[in-house]
Structure 1
Amino acid sequence: MSQTKQSKQDITVLIILLFGTFLSFLNQTLMNVALPSVMKDFDITAAQGQWLSNGYMLISGVMIPATAFLIDRFKTRHLYLTSMIVFTLGTFIASISINYPMLIAGRMIQALGAGPISPLMTVVIMNMFPVQSRGKAMGFIGLAMNFAPAIGPTLSGWIVQSYDWRSIFYVILPLGIINILVAVFALKNFGEQTYPKFNFLGIVLSTIGLGTLLLGFSNAGDKPWLTFNVAGFVLIGLVVTGLFIYQQTHTKLPMLNFSVFKHRIFTLSSITNFVVIMGLYGGMILLPLYIQNVRGVSPMTSGMVLLPGAIIMAIMSPITGALYDRIGARYLNFTGLIILSIGTFMFTLIDMNTTVTYLAIMQGVRSFGLGLALMPIQTDALNDLPLELMSHGSAMYNTIRQIAGSLGTALLVTIMSISTSNFAAENVGISIEEATLHGIQIAYIVVTAISVVAAVMCLKLSKKAK
């Protein structure tokens, strides 16, 4: 592969891919607020409805390991257009769904298309930009990856409150079509294809392994850990994933090349990212639970509390990317994660009367810290790899992110639930809201500890951009 000189056409390509990435990540959280309306329309339970979000995350997550093969096998233009067409087709099916199975089918098709988009975007940027200016470009990826899911609940809350839940898909559908039409005329190919052979066993093992692992973590949110739906699926996932790793490291034509972990900074950044994302995704679910379940405030208000933080992160991502090009990852990450730790600790002090303003400000502090830390970690990881391993590094990094998000959510919801139950049992007569508040406070203490651990780990990252 060879890097290309930037031009106006390159910038157009960047905008096209950024927009597609934004749409794919936006859809991760769009249905969360709409769930009660969907449950009412289709007469389904909350557990069934939760699959509108969990299923999307599961399918897109399972697709990610295969993207290294897809990127090396198919041209950028063809792969992106196919992914966006599949994503938009799923959006159309969901928009006209007349029953719950049809809606779920639409969401799963959306996820199939969304899976390859982010890793593809990363690989294109690594080919398009020289090492010394990748940070700024990766900062714009951070804008799409981190701002989109954060703004999702606010956007869907406004749409559902003002219109029908199907209007969510009516908004996404024309945006997807426009993105496809522009890509048809403006998108060009980046990198060189190596045309690897199809590794059938690798696809099967990765799909079963990662799929059951993510399914187990997803089930942990509302089921006991010591059941087949959680422990059973997690155990199967770990065993099959272990077989997948063994098969990939002993074949001449790996679907996912684990030699990326021979590169020290990539490995260290991936581990640090795993810890950070655990805290990020787990922390993201705690605040809406407090606002809606403890305080009884509307989902729309919950979304508005999250909005300032999302805007701060959107502003910080490209700024942080430019700073990375000058000073590297170490001090940016350490500063960001210390700020994140402080902001998270302040959430351990919330009570039944905490103001919405306090919540929004502290969430803004957390988002500022995350904005400093997230993309420099990823940029440092991928800068450590040669271009021929970039597709594998991108797929691996995004797979780790997916697992960390699911595990973090499952772990913190479990800690919250156990703490809530124990506190209620020890304090007879206490309200469920007060018990839940205690559980959320304990969970935030854990998130604070996770953030501090990540801050210490990042001190081994690069002092300067490579």
Structure 2
Amino acid sequence: METNQFTQNNQVSRKTILAIVGTGIMSFCGILLETAMNVTFPTLMHVFGISISSVQWITSGYLLVASLVMTLASYMHKRFKLKQIYAVAVGLFFLGLLLCVSAPNFTILLIGRLVGGIATGMTTPLMFGIINQDIPVQKLGRYMAIGAIIVSMASVGPTYGGLILYHLGWRATFWIVLPLAIFAAIMGLLNIEQTRPIQKTHLDISGFVWIAAAFILIALSFNEASAHGWASLNFWLMLVLGVLAAGLYGWHASHTPTPLISIKIFKYKAFVLSFVAYALCQLVNIGMAFLLPNFGQLVLGTTSLLAGLLLLPGSLLRLFFMPWGGVLLDKKGPRLPIITGISATLISGILFFSFQAVLTIPLMTIFFALFSAGFSLTFSNLLTDGMKQLPMPLKGDGNAAFNAIQQYAGSIGASLMATFIAISQTQPHGLSNLKATSIGSRRDFIFLILMELIMLILQIINFRIQRNQTKETN
């Protein structure tokens, strides 16, 4: 069945737009709650009597589950009606919400967040799937930017979480999104259309097991490091086993006719470079969203309200810069916005590191605004540019891979930020908890700078490859 990408006059139907709005808002609700919890960590640590390495699973566990569900996106979109997928996701979202608001202990709260992660793992790829399949290619950049705004607005979560926590308590964080989620549920269920035929495709269970093993083992390895340090035997053992499981999935996928995610997408060098940079971009983004509110509260001693508000100007900037970045890509190509954006995030990271000893809430707000401007020019454009490198038959696999790595990279980003801080807090140097947290945060900033530098190098190489490919084609 022909999709709207090839309709006359490149028009987008009203139902398609409303379907994107509905699925997008539901995805936003999930992501908003995910990052809103970051600012509640000091409170939750006190209420439930847990450490930072334990409480960070509220974020990293949520993202881990979401990323695993997203690996099933390509299969689900072929096998089931999109409206059916959305209905299940909506039900799981409300179940997770109920568990969280009524949680008597940390275990129930964590289970509620994991259920919510499943819901987001279904809705986010659904939104991008509709965009990729039903939006004309000439308008793809701006619509992908709109989708990416929804995902990247995760950074407004700490502002929302800080405001609600300060005035109403952490449980109200979940109650207040309920009306918006109900609106999104109705909007999506009324407007999602099935533009592709259902296929009785085979579920690659073995492939899912290998991917799940890789994701879980690598995530657990960082939790082990946070408890026992980088020299821990269990850390290295889990990390190696996780990498081995990922390799075994690659071998399996190359020997099965219907892999969960086709590894043929990784034969396209320009796609791979965009894919890796996209993962690092989200790792840094979630890392910043985790680090800054906690630094504000644990090191600077500010309130949860101010710690959350410091991210607000940067979050609002994304509303303007990201659509503009998508239009810029459509008109000028990907190189200008992506290289400019990564450079801005790199400068921001260097400023955070250089001024850490004298950081204040106003300074952090300015530096994060610069980071957000750069992130806005980079994030959705890496996704758009990467997807353009794939032929149509592989776009479903590319979409699933991008969405899965986006969530998983965020999970690893949160885990790494918590790990550097936890290791500093447990090292026996007679330091106060405040000083140890400050040292761990400094290491976090160094790590984020290195990731941003790698992103820049990868994209310089990427555009060189694309330029050479264009010359060869001509």
Secondary structure in 2 matching 1:29: helix
For 2:8, the equivalent position in structure 1 comes to none
Secondary structure in 1 matching 2:176: helix
Matches within 5 A, 1:317-356: 317-356=322-361
Cα distance in 1 between the residues matched to 2:44 and 2:295: 22
Superposed CA deviations along residues 134-193 of structure 1, whole A, max 9, x for unmatched, are: 00001111111111x211111111112211322122122332222222322222123333
Matched, 1:388 2:389: no
Secondary structure in 1 matching 2:230: coil
For 1:458, the equivalent position in structure 2 comes to 459
CA RMSD of aligned residues (A): 2.7
For 1:3, the equivalent position in structure 2 comes to 3
Secondary structure in 1 matching 2:15: helix
The one of 249, 273, 290 equivalent to 2:254 is 249
The one of 291, 296, 300 equivalent to 1:291 is 296
The alpha carbon displacement at 1:218 in A equals 4.3
* Paired residue type of 1:290: F
The one of 173, 177, 186 equivalent to 1:172 is 177
Cα distance in 2 between the residues matched to 1:261 and 1:280: 24
Cα distance in 1 between the residues matched to 2:54 and 2:432: 28
Distance 1:109 1:238, change over 3 A: same
Distance 1:287 1:52, change over 3 A: closer
For 1:448, the equivalent position in structure 2 comes to 449
* Paired residue type of 1:171: I
For 2:117, the equivalent position in structure 1 comes to 111
For 1:121, the equivalent position in structure 2 comes to 127
Matches within 5 A, 1:27-426: 27-39=33-45, 41-42=47-48, 46-147=52-153, 149-227=154-232, 230-411=235-416, 414=419
Secondary structure in 1 matching 2:151: helix
Instruction: Single out whichever of 62-71 and 270-279 deviates more from structure 2.
Output: 270-279
Checking the alignment, whether the CA contact within 8 Å between 1:339 and 1:368 is kept in structure 2 is yes
Checking the alignment, whether the CA contact within 8 Å between 1:139 and 1:320 is kept in structure 2 is yes
Instruction: Single out whichever of 295-304 and 271-280 deviates more from structure 2.
Output: 271-280
Instruction: Single out whichever of 387-396 and 269-278 deviates more from structure 2.
Output: 269-278
The alpha carbon displacement at 1:34 in A equals 2.8
Cα distance in 1 between the residues matched to 2:244 and 2:141: 37
Checking the alignment, whether the CA contact within 8 Å between 1:328 and 1:376 is kept in structure 2 is no
Checking the alignment, whether the CA contact within 8 Å between 1:88 and 1:177 is kept in structure 2 is no
For 1:21, the equivalent position in structure 2 comes to 27
Instruction: Single out whichever of 37-46 and 133-142 deviates more from structure 2.
Output: 37-46
* Paired residue type of 2:130: V
Cα distance in 2 between the residues matched to 1:279 and 1:54: 14
Superposed CA deviations along residues 349-381 of structure 1, whole A, max 9, x for unmatched, are: 224443322211111111111111111100011
The alpha carbon displacement at 1:268 in A equals 1.7
Instruction: Single out whichever of 252-261 and 396-405 deviates more from structure 2.
Output: 396-405
Work out the number of aligned pairs and report it: 459
Cα distance in 2 between the residues matched to 1:306 and 1:452: 23
Secondary structure in 2 matching 1:188: coil
* Paired residue type of 2:328: L
Checking the alignment, whether the CA contact within 8 Å between 1:341 and 1:451 is kept in structure 2 is yes
Distance 1:182 1:231, change over 3 A: same
Checking the alignment, whether the CA contact within 8 Å between 2:342 and 2:456 is kept in structure 1 is yes
Secondary structure in 1 matching 2:72: helix
Distance 1:434 1:102, change over 3 A: closer
Superposed CA deviations along residues 319-376 of structure 1, whole A, max 9, x for unmatched, are: 1111111112112111111111112111122244433222111111111111111111
Checking the alignment, whether the CA contact within 8 Å between 1:205 and 1:244 is kept in structure 2 is yes
Superposed CA deviations along residues 383-438 of structure 1, whole A, max 9, x for unmatched, are: 2223322221111122333343344444455556667889x95xx8x765455445
Distance 1:93 1:259, change over 3 A: same
Structure 2 gaps of 5+ residues are 5-10
Secondary structure in 2 matching 1:115: helix
* Paired residue type of 1:106: G
Checking the alignment, whether the CA contact within 8 Å between 1:218 and 1:406 is kept in structure 2 is no
Cα distance in 2 between the residues matched to 1:312 and 1:44: 35
Distance 1:302 1:132, change over 3 A: same
Checking the alignment, whether the CA contact within 8 Å between 1:146 and 1:314 is kept in structure 2 is no
The alignment's TM-score, normalised by the length of structure 2, stands at 0.88
Distance 1:40 1:414, change over 3 A: closer
Checking the alignment, whether the CA contact within 8 Å between 1:274 and 1:400 is kept in structure 2 is yes
Distance 1:2 1:304, change over 3 A: same
Structure 1 gaps of 5+ residues are none
Superposed CA deviations along residues 5-36 of structure 1, whole A, max 9, x for unmatched, are: 41222211121121122112212222223344
The alignment's TM-score, normalised by the length of structure 1, stands at 0.90
Q: Percent identity?
A: 26
Cα distance in 2 between the residues matched to 1:166 and 1:411: 26
Checking the alignment, whether the CA contact within 8 Å between 1:334 and 1:456 is kept in structure 2 is no
Secondary structure in 1 matching 2:124: helix
For 2:7, the equivalent position in structure 1 comes to none
Cα distance in 1 between the residues matched to 2:39 and 2:419: 22
Cα distance in 1 between the residues matched to 2:376 and 2:96: 31
* Paired residue type of 2:302: V
* Paired residue type of 2:441: I
Checking the alignment, whether the CA contact within 8 Å between 1:28 and 1:53 is kept in structure 2 is yes
The alpha carbon displacement at 1:126 in A equals 0.9
* Paired residue type of 2:214: G
